[in-house]
Amino acid sequence: MAEIGTPIGLNPNSLISTANRLAYSQNKGRPRQEDLCRAVSTAYYAMFHALARSNANLLVGATPSKRSNRAWRQLYRALNHSQAARAANRQELPHFPQDIQDFAVQFAKMQSHRHTADYDPMGTFSKSEVLQLIRETSFAILVLFSART
């Protein structure tokens, strides 16, 4: 497959903005559950893509002109949802810096909420709950990227 442009993956900040737009739906009254569920799912995917980007940048390089884009893409796409969640719950987690531990805890929490949002037909969320989840997720992403610098 030919390389097309510079691979950047999905932008976690853009996904957080999308989650906020969904939670602040323009419908009169309360947001629809469908919008709130999509907001939760989108916030989780912001974390997932932040982790994928962080891993690829750390192991292959953050500067597109100084890395193999093919290797970067391969590593970015190698992240597995269930393996990442299991890693976030391992006993070894206390050996990592607190910022990384906090990201892992939020990741596992958001994956659980995403499963409710995407797969539980009886699952519901309040607007305030979703906005809090988005804030926590946004902060965890910010801390992840600042922990490496």
What's the chain's length in residues?
149
Cα–Cα distances in angstroms (integers) from residue 94 to residues 22, 82, 114, 132, in the given order = 35, 20, 25, 25
Instruction: Return per-residue pLDDT of the chain as tens, 149 residues.
Output: 334 444 466 899 999 999 999 999 876 778 999 999 999 999 999 999 999 999 999 889 888 889 898 998 898 898 888 888 777 777 677 888 888 889 999 999 999 999 999 999 999 999 999 999 999 999 999 999 887 54
CB 88, CB 102: distance < 8 Å: no
Instruction: Enter the tokens of residue 137.
Output: 């997720």
Write down the pTM of the prediction: 0.87
Nearest to 49 by CA among 148, 118, 145: 145
For tokens 């982790």, the residue is 51
CATH fold for the domain made of 12-51+81-147:
Four Helix Bundle (Hemerythrin (Met), subunit A) (1.20.120)
